[in-house]
Each structure stands twice: as C-alpha cells, then as structure tokens.
Amino acid sequence: MTLDELKENESAQIVQILDEQLEESMLNMGFIVGEDVKLDRIAPLKDPILITSGLNYISIRKEDAKKILIEKTKTS
Amino acid sequence: MPGTYSLNPEAEDERVAANTIKNITDDELIIVVADVTNLKRNLFLCTQIIDLGKPVVLVLNMMDLLQKSKQCIDLDKISALLQIPVVPVNARIKKGINELKEVITNYKFKPTKLIALTATERYEKITTILLSCLKGGEANKWIDRTKKIDNILTHKIYGYLIFLSILFVIFQAIFSWSAYPMELIEEGFSLLGSLVESWLPEGVLSDLIVNGILAGLSGIVIFVPQIALLFAFITILEDTGYMSRVSFLMDRLLRPFGLNGKSIIPLISSIACAVPAIMSTRSINNLKERLITIMVSPLISCSARIPVYTLLIALVIPTEEQVGIFNLQGIVMMGLYLIGFLAALFAALVFKWILKSKGKSNFIMEMPIYRLPRWSNVGFSVYNKVKVFLFEAGKIIIAISIVLWGLSSYGPGDTFEKIEEKYASPAYENESEDEINNLIASEKLEASYAAYLGKTIEPLIKPIGFDWKIGISLVTSFAAREVFVGTMATLYSVGDEDNTTSIREKMLQAKNPETGDRLYNKATTFSLLIFYAFAMQCMATLAVVYRETKSYKWPIIQVVYMGALAYISSWIVYTIFS
C-alpha cells in the first residue's frame, strides 16, 4: 500500500520511494527507507497530510505520498 | 542559514546557503548550528559539510530542551567521533557564547576522514554515533506536546477560526491600539513646526523646513506605530512555529490559484511590506509558484498604503458612523484589504494560465515544534524593519519633499512676479491682507512648475476623477505610496501661513474649480482609494523583484498589469459614484 492510504494515527514502515527526487527530499527531512512513519493528521480539506518519522515532523501532499510504498506494522 | 536541510538544494534559499558553503576557503570557518532536539537530521547536513573537507565547528543549540526532556549527551565523544569541536549553547539566554568565541579563536583546521558516501550510509553512521552519545529521557516529549497543540490549531473548524481571529486581532491592533501614539506624533510635529517658525527668521529657509521637510517627514513618522505592531505580530507568528501550520491549512486552498501553501507567508508579510515578502518566496521550490507569488504579492495592501487609506477614508466617511458594533471607517479599510487579496488571487489565476510550468511542485515542509517567541528576536526584527522604513523611505521622501517644495514655490519665467504685481495694483486695495495673500498663494501654485507637471498628465487622469494636484501626487508616489500624504501636505500647505489646519481639513476645503463642489467627493476619493490599492507604486519592490527574478521582464510586466488594473478599476468606481 502507499502512504496516502493510511488513516490518522496509523503507523507503517517505509518500503520504497518511487521517485528519485522525492526520495532525496524525504531523506533530507530525515525520512529513511526502512524506518517507521506515522500519519498524524490529514488537513481539513483532505490534503496535505502531516507525518512523522522519529523526531522529524513534516507535511507532504497526497500526490507525493502516493509514491511512497509502505507496509503496515502496527496501529496505535 | 536557517531552513537548510542539505547541500543538495531544492529551493532558492538552500541554493544560496549551499553555494556559500562550497566556496569557503581554509582560513574561513563554518559554524553549523544544530537543534539538539533533532540531532539526527541536523548531523546529516553537518557531516555533509565535514565530508566536503571544510573547517567546521558544531554548535548544539537548545540545550535547555535536552535537559528538560531528561536526556544527556556525551559532548567529548561526539566531538571525537566527528573529529570537530563541539560547543553547547543556549542562544535564547546567550549561554555558551563566550566558550564558542574561544573555540573559534583557537581553531586550527585539520582535514578529517570521510564519514559516508551515500545518504543511507550517512544516516546509518549518524544513528550509530547518536546511540553511543545520546542517552535516556523522553525524546518525544516536545514533539508530542506540539502534536497536541496541532490537534487544535489545524482542526477543521477551530483551525480556520483561530487563524481568522488572529488576523482580526492584528487588524484591530493596527487601527485602534496605534491611535494614541499616532496622535502624539502628529501633535509633536505640529509643535515642532511652530517652534521652527518662531526661531528662524521668516523667509525661504523657514518655509523650506516647515512646509517642505517637516510636512513630508511627519507624514511618514506617524505610521511607525502601525508598522511596528504589524511586524511584531508577523515575527511572533513565525517564531512560535504557527506560520507553518497556516501554510499547511492553506495549501489546498491556494493550489487552484497556482500558488503553494508556502505562499501564505509572503502573502501575509505583504500586509506589512512587499519587499521582505518577495525575499521570503525563496523557500518556495517550484519556480512557477514562486514567480506567481512574487507577481501578485504587491497587490496585497501593504503598510505604505495605510497612510493613504487613512487620510482618504477620513475625507468621505465620518468617524462616528457605526454599523452595528463596528466603525464604518474600519469596515471600509478592511474592505480595501479584502479587495487587494481578491485581486491577488485573480491575478494569480491569470498568471497560472499564462506561465509555463517548469519542474514539479511539492509541499514538503518541516513543522517546527512550538516554542514561545523570543522577545529579543521580535524586538530586533521590529527595530530593523522600522529603521529600513524610516531611513530608506525617509531619504526618498525628504528628497521628494524638497524637490516638490521647489517645484511648487517657483514658476517659469516671471509669472510669479506678475501675480504679485497684479495684486499690488489699486484694484485690490479694499481686500484684507489675509485674503490677498491666499489669492496670491493659490494663483502662484497654479502657475508653478509642479502645476505644469500635473496639468500635463491631467487629460490622462481626468476620466478617473483626478485633478492636477492628485496628478503630481501620482508622479511622486511612484517612488513610494506613502509619499502621497507628504505631497498632499506640501501642496496644500504652500501659502498656508499659519500652518494650523491639518492636511485632512485642507483637503476637505478643496473645491472643484469647475463645479464649485467639494473636490474630494465620494467618486474621486473612492476612485483614488482603488487606484492606490492596485497600482504598482513602489521603487523598492520593483528593485527587489528585479533582484529575485534576475530580469527586467518581470518588474516591467508588474508595472504594466497593475497599472492597467488600477486605471480600469478606478474608472469603473468613478463612473458608478458620479
């Protein structure tokens, strides 16, 4: 599944980022393939979303979240 | 440079930082200031710079937060592992600054070992380093608290309500809290004017200082309270981290207009001044979105328009008039801001259709943890912005005031002498001296160089209800909008010997020579208001647009499209109201 399919407060592991440029941007913000990511909040107008990985807390548009493959680990 | 995450830049601000770092020589020193609460990501940039073979000192900031979350860090170990000096500081309370100075003076550069080649490898190394150096505590404490606050501030209803309330408070503050200091300044200048007049012998010099320089200057100083308040609010909103949430809330709304959530920061800053606003567009990494933000920002009513709006609104709307609990003047003022904002959105839409898109757009943006504003930072920013406004704008305004005073006090050839001769003739013997002086003054002004200038462009601006005096103000306002008030003050005080009535009263008394009605009636005044809301009358903004876009094309397009918009809208308004 992809990151945009998560519900609020669901966590998953980043498996792959399908866009090289996006992967680099995410890496700069501290989002690394293999690590956990949590969807914290969906904006009132359903887009963009707020996500965290470790101590990194960023916003990203759904369009980009669609390119981030994830695997569900746990729900909290 | 804050907001730099990597040496592989995506946005203009990161590009500037990356180029600076790459060009640093061995006798210079790079100080990486890292937020200790998110060391992992901050070390990513730091190790990239180390691997470039550049001399680096790592400064760990916000050590207080680390202690509060019961963590501790082994500074010697981290310094040994990275092979660079590490200094802990707390910039908020200036702790550790002396130690940092010492480290910098004693610094000797020795090349270090390469840490990592790929980004993934780099993160692995950093994780290992941090595992051995950073111990214990509740690392997530701050981010958890931030997320709880976000539950309210980005809530689907409260989020927007809070944002609108904050905007409302800012407007209230600007228009009511600043009234008292503004009155004081006005009275102060009036007092100063009469003092100068009593000190100096009557003549050209006294006239120049009182009616030229002081008149122009008071029109500017009076707006310092409003501008200071506005910048204080904007700095507080940015410093606390709230601006990023506003961007988050607005991204989806702004996207259809070819803008980005990040555009909201320049758009809000434009309420204060378009110059810093346009510079802050550097954080928008998509070129088209950035360009559109630059092009439409000057349509948002800036603080330089406040003097013009305040003066003109007071001419046609009585102070006492209320609609419900609201003051009508305030409502008209808010309406002008709204019109500016809507015009900016409309213009953005047009630019979105015309401009070609280059590169992809994204909205990957850090949400900083909430912190209390640093009051010293707020004070510093307000001081700086007010200083720029006073001195940069002030210089132009004083120069223009002097030129204008000259232009309106002298006329071509011997026209002035002829007027004096005419009134010295026996035909006027029965009139009182005051009346004759007034008649001479107004005839002289009409025969002055300034009048020639104004009358040359009068045919062009007549359809939108302006006369030659407004014409002169339009010409001088091209340097900066607030010059309008100074120009009006100078134009109407030439010949006013007692210097008692305010510029507002003088303009109220002004008559249309053809009809004998009030010159500043609703039609002309509203037309002027709309013109000042839309027209591109700011040299400083044009200069910064040129600098940011590196081409003459964009500032020229800006002048033309905003001018056309202003002229057509003013014409429509004038036709409706007359």
The string of DSSP codes covering B134-155 is EE-S-TTHHHHHHHHHHHHHT-
The residue of chain A nearest to residue B7, with distances taken between CA atoms, is A28
Q: Is the peptide bond before B276 cis (omega within 30 degrees of 0)?
A: no
Strands B56-61 and B30-35: parallel
Is A46's CB within 8 Å of B252's CB? yes
The Cα–Cα gap between B189 and B219 comes to: 10
User: Tell me, what DSSP letter sits at residue B255?
Assistant: G
Neighbours of A28 (CB within 10 A): 22
Burial B150-162 (b: 16+ CB within 10 A, else e): beebbeeeebbeb
> What tokens does B234 get?
């904007």
The string of DSSP codes covering B466-514 is --HHHHHHHHHHTTBTTHHHHHHHHHHHTT-SS--S-HHHHHHH-B-TT
B83: left (phi over 0), alpha (psi -120 to 50) or beta: left
User: Residue B104 to residues B27, B31, B100, B192: CA-CA distances in angstroms?
Assistant: 12, 9, 6, 50
The Cα–Cα gap between B431 and B439 comes to: 11
The beta-strand segments (E) located in chain A are: 10-17, 36-42, 49-53, 56-60, 68-75
Asked if B120 reaches chain A (Cβ–Cβ under 8 Å), the answer is: yes
How far is residue B486 CA from its own chain's centroid? 19
Is B146's CB within 8 Å of A57's CB? yes
Domain residue extents for chain B: 12-139, 142-410+448-578
Among the listed residues B518, B535, B546, the one whose alpha carbon sits nearest the alpha carbon of residue B483: B535
Is B41's CB within 8 Å of A55's CB? yes
User: Residue A22 to residues A32, B116, B520: CA-CA distances in angstroms?
Assistant: 11, 21, 58
Best A28, A32, A49 residue to mutate vs chain B (most B CBs within 10 Å): A28
Asked if B10 reaches chain A (Cβ–Cβ under 8 Å), the answer is: yes
Is A47's CB within 8 Å of B38's CB? no
In sequence order, the 6+-apart residues with CB closer than 8 A to the CB of B33 are B59, B61, B91
Residue showing tokens 């000797």 = B108
Report pLDDT digits (tens) over A13-30: 999 999 888 988 888 888
Interface list for B 12-51 with A (CB within 8 A): 37-38, 40-41, 44
The Cα–Cα gap between B10 and B135 comes to: 34
The string of DSSP codes covering B278-325 is HHGGGG--SHHHHHHHHHHGGGS--TTHHHHHHHHHHHHS-TT-EETT
User: Tell me, what DSSP letter sits at residue B178?
Assistant: T
Predicted local confidence at residue B474, as pLDDT: 87
The Cα–Cα gap between B487 and B211 comes to: 10
Amino acid at B372: L
Residues B366, A58 contacting (CB under 8 angstroms): yes
3-state secondary structure of B78: helix
> What tokens does B252 get?
């989806």
The Cα–Cα gap between B338 and B514 comes to: 35
Is A59's CB within 8 Å of B365's CB? yes
Best A20, A35, A61 residue to mutate vs chain B (most B CBs within 10 Å): A61
Is A50's CB within 8 Å of B150's CB? yes
Strands A68-75 and B56-61: unpaired
At residue A44, φ and ψ (nearest 5 deg) are -50, -35
Top CATH class of B12-139 equals: alpha beta
What is the full per-residue pLDDT of chain B (578 aa) written as tens digits? Answer: 667 777 777 777 888 888 888 888 777 888 888 887 778 888 888 888 888 888 888 888 877 777 777 777 888 888 888 888 888 888 777 778 888 888 888 877 776 776 777 777 888 888 888 877 777 655 667 788 899 999 999 998 999 999 999 988 887 777 678 778 888 888 888 888 888 888 877 777 777 777 777 777 776 787 788 778 888 888 899 889 999 999 999 999 999 999 999 999 889 888 877 887 888 888 888 899 999 999 999 999 988 888 889 889 988 887 776 777 777 887 888 899 999 999 999 999 999 999 887 777 889 998 988 989 988 889 998 898 888 777 766 777 677 777 877 887 787 777 777 777 777 777 776 667 767 776 777 777 778 888 888 888 889 999 998 988 888 888 878 777 877 887 787 777 655 555 556 677 778 777 777 777 788 888 999 999 999 999 998 877 888 898 889 899 999 999 999 999 999 999 999 999 88
Residues B469, B503 contacting (CB under 8 angstroms): no
Residues B215, B486 contacting (CB under 8 angstroms): yes
> What tokens does A68 get?
């981030």
Residues of B in contact with A61 (CB under 8 A): 251, 362-363
Among the listed residues B100, B86, B97, B88, the one whose alpha carbon sits nearest the alpha carbon of residue B61: B88
A73 vs chain B: nearest CA distance in angstroms? 20
Is B150's CB within 8 Å of A40's CB? yes
Is B150's CB within 8 Å of A33's CB? no
User: Tell me, what DSSP letter sits at residue B201?
Assistant: P
The string of DSSP codes covering B339-392 is HHHHHHHHHHHHHHHHSPP-S-----EE-PPP----HHHHHHHHHHHHHHIIII
Is A44's CB within 8 Å of B10's CB? no
At residue A48, φ and ψ (nearest 5 deg) are -75, -170
3-state secondary structure of B327: strand
The Cα–Cα gap between B540 and A63 comes to: 38
Strands B72-73 and B30-35: unpaired
Asked if B154 reaches chain A (Cβ–Cβ under 8 Å), the answer is: yes
Residues of A engaging B, defined by a Cβ cutoff of 8 Å: 21-22, 24-30, 32-33, 40-41, 43-48, 50, 52, 54-61, 63-64
In sequence order, the 6+-apart residues with CB closer than 8 A to the CB of B377 are B235, B239
pTM attached to this predicted model: 0.78
Residues A53, A31 contacting (CB under 8 angstroms): yes
Is A50's CB within 8 Å of B8's CB? no
User: CB-CB: which of B248, B360, B366 is closest to A29?
Assistant: B366
Predicted local confidence at residue B500, as pLDDT: 53
Neighbours of B306 (CB within 10 A): 24
Predicted local confidence at residue B136, as pLDDT: 65
SS (H, E, C) A58-70: EEECHHHHCCEEE
Q: Which domains does chain A have, with CATH numbers?
A: 3-75 (2.30.30.90)
The Cα–Cα gap between B238 and B301 comes to: 20
How far is residue B276 CA from its own chain's centroid? 6
User: CB-CB: which of B150, B251, B360 is closest to A41?
Assistant: B150
The Cα–Cα gap between B161 and B276 comes to: 27
> What tokens does B387 get?
């200083």
Residue showing tokens 């993934």 = B120
Q: Is the dihedral of CA B387, B390, B396, B402 positive or negative?
A: negative
